[in-house]
Structure 1
Amino acid sequence: MKKKVEIVVYGAEQICPSCVNLPSSRDTFEWLQAAIARKFPGQPFAIEYVDLFNPPDEGKKRAFARKVIEEDMFYPVVVIEDRVVGEGNPRLKEIFAELEKYGYKPGTESGK
């Protein structure tokens, strides 16, 4: 594995109006965190949840949260290393494929 990848899930407590009957953003964040840990055991990654309506003061994350709202993107929005890989109802297959580009290996400890 080349480096510890940063994953950011942008969402809100209120479910996206176009995403009725889908899990909440927070539920998606927790599900994604568990799924990645199972698929890539022992391989470190950083995952963070950012509330669209109360983002951190960090400029980049605050700016992207504003973009999600202004562009009416479906949330949650999953971003890996500044690349959007899922929106509304993120697909594990696409997220896993993106992580593999960074050297993550399915089912192996420490990418060995």
Structure 2
Amino acid sequence: MEKQVELVVYGAEVLCPSCVNLPSSKEQYDWLQAAISRKFGGNGVTYKYVDIFNPPEEEPYKDFATRVVDEDMFYPVVLVEGEVVGEGNPRLKTVYKALEKHGLQPE
């Protein structure tokens, strides 16, 4: 079985104050999943959405959600294998590059 690359999106129902004209975090999460599936296929990536105001108890998700709030980061914040690759308005090119760095190949 191939290695799964973890992509985590931290966001909230409420738009971030600096992201008024952008889609919601959840909409961007869904959009990222669709775009990544088109480029890399349906396998190889595990996706997780974390609500920063109601994070799961498990680590490292709870700690990073607290960090997003405490540091006033623009959300959604996108992590690939624990590395921040997008904040506020994630760029597909940057996300793709991070996935390729972790071994995913476009189909």
Q: TM-score, normalised by structure 1?
A: 0.91
3-state SS of the aligned residue for 2:90? coil
Identity of aligned residues (%): 61
After TM superposition, give the deviation of residue 2 of structure 1 in Å.
Answer: 5.9
- The answer for the alignment partner of 1:86 in structure 2 is 86
Do the aligned partners of 2:52 and 2:69 also contact (CA within 8 Å) in 1? yes
The count of corresponding residues between Structure 1 and Structure 2 is 107
Give the structure with higher Rg (CA).
1
Distance 2:31 2:10 in 1: 14
3-state SS of the aligned residue for 1:95? helix
CA RMSD of aligned residues (A): 1.3
Asked if 1:48 corresponds to 2:48, the answer is yes
Runs of 4+ residues over 4 Å off in structure 1: none
3-state SS of the aligned residue for 2:36? helix
Structure 2: stretches of 5+ with no match in the other structure: none
| Aligned-partner residue type, residue 30 of structure 1 | D
Do the aligned partners of 2:73 and 2:87 also contact (CA within 8 Å) in 1? yes
- The answer for the alignment partner of 1:28 in structure 2 is 28
